[in-house]
Structure 1
Amino acid sequence: MYLPRAFVDDNLASLQQQIAQSRLATLVTHGKLGLQASHLPLLLDPAQGANGTLFGHLAKANPQWQELADGAEALVIFSGEDAYVSPGFYPSKAEHGKVVPTWNYLAVHAYGRAEVFSDGPRLLELVSALTERHESTRSEPWKVTDAPADYIEGMLKAIVGFALPIQRLEGKRKLSQNRSPADIAGVRDGLAASADVRDQQLSHLMRQGDL
């Protein structure tokens, strides 16, 4: 990832928080089958390994798991909030006009090599934890045990799990840090006034920061 110094986030707690908050990640590998990407919900154990360990599963019919089993390095992308930044947000536009559009966003890239597994009890533990995470906010959460045991057993045979210790983390918080204080305030206010909730979320992040 291209990382100008102004946008680098190298705080482990911050990076792990963004990973934990991400609902869907992109797993990218490059091996004998060329570049492959899958979109997956993942779990992070922040205490396992120097940077934490990611856990997830792939369909057994998805050949990407074979790349993981062969030891291919994996890149996992976690995308955060993002927003288009109009030159019209900058007070400097009226001063000299030397401004262009850009994009503000958050992103975390995690790198590592995974261990794959297919034993039933471990897979059951993984899918139960994933389910609990995403069902926990519902008034009547669904549980894996709500389905017939033989049905779940059959479903588990159709997936392959993986554990990916994070060997390297890269974080980017592009929030107009390279602009003047007046331009930063203009971006914050412009995004806050947008009808798009995604723009408002990015503005909120800018107000939280020490920009």
Structure 2
Amino acid sequence: MYVPAHFDPPNLEALHDLIEQNAFGILFTKGKSGLDANHIPFDLNREQGPFGVLRAHVARANPVWQDIASGDEVLAVFRAVDTYISPSWYPSKHKFHKQVPTWNYLVAHAYGRVTIHDDERYLRGVVGRLTRTHEATQAQPWKMSDSPKDFIDTMLKAIVGIEIEITRLVGKFKLSQNKEAADILGAGHALKERGSDAIGDAMLAIGAAKAEQV
């Protein structure tokens, strides 16, 4: 991924935050059958290894876990918000007419070595962590013990675990940082007016910080 210096994420923590807040990633593999992409939720362990470890599971019927082998390099992509940016939102456009449309977005690319796990203990851990994370906002969070043991045992036999030791973590936070403060603020306010609060707020913060440096 091409990442100009001004679009670099601020730190590793920001990339980890993006992954955890947008856990439904795309797993890209290149196995015996060629290129493949699978859309699956991931659990991130920030503390393991220099960049963290990703854990997930796929259906046993999904050929991806047999198409690749433990030790193969894979890529997991996580995308947060994105939005179109009109040149009309930049104040300088109305003065100099030297702006063009663009697209702003936040993404993280996690490269790493995959390990296939086909054992019940590992799978219980993965499903348990994913469930606790995504049920946390429910009034009565569902847990595995809510279902009969034989039912859960059957469900676990129908999945296979995927673990990725992240060896390289690359991100791109494209928020018009290469523009003047007034243009960043102008576009940020325009996005807020249109309900795009996530990128709008981020751009307003960047624009305000840049204005203070002048």
Tell me which interval the TM-score lies in, with the shorter structure as reference length: over 0.9
Contact 2:70 2:115 in 1 (8 A): no
Describe the SS at the equivalent of 1:167.
strand
Is residue 2:200 matched to residue 1:203? yes
Identical-pair percentage: 45
SS of residue matched to 2:16: helix
Deviation at 1:208, TM superposition (A): 3.5
| Match in the other structure for 1:168 | 168
**Structure 1 runs of 4+ off > 4 angstroms?**
none
Q: Which amino acid aligns with 2:95?
A: E
Q: Distance in 2 between matches of 1:63 and 1:9?
A: 35
| SS of corresponding position for 1:56 | strand
Q: Give CA deviations for 1:24-53 in whole Å, capped at 9, x if unaligned.
A: 111111122111111111111111001000
Alpha-carbon contact 1:45-1:52 (below 8 Å) kept? yes
Distance in 2 separating the partners of 1:186 and 1:121? 53
Q: Say how many residue pairs are matched.
A: 208
2 CA distance for matches of 1:13 and 1:172?
14
1:87 aligns with 2:84: no
TM-score (norm 1): 0.94
Q: CA deviation at 1:99?
A: 1.4
In the alignment, what sits opposite 1:13? 13
Distance apart, 1:88 and its partner CA: 0.9
Matches within 5 A, 1:58-207: 58-194=58-194, 196=195, 199-207=196-204
**TM-score, reference length from structure 2:** 0.92
Match of 2:31 in 1: 31
Q: CA deviation at 1:66?
A: 2.0
Secondary structure, counterpart of 2:78 in structure 1: strand
Distance (whole Å) between structure 2 residues aligned to residue 120 and residue 185 of structure 1? 52
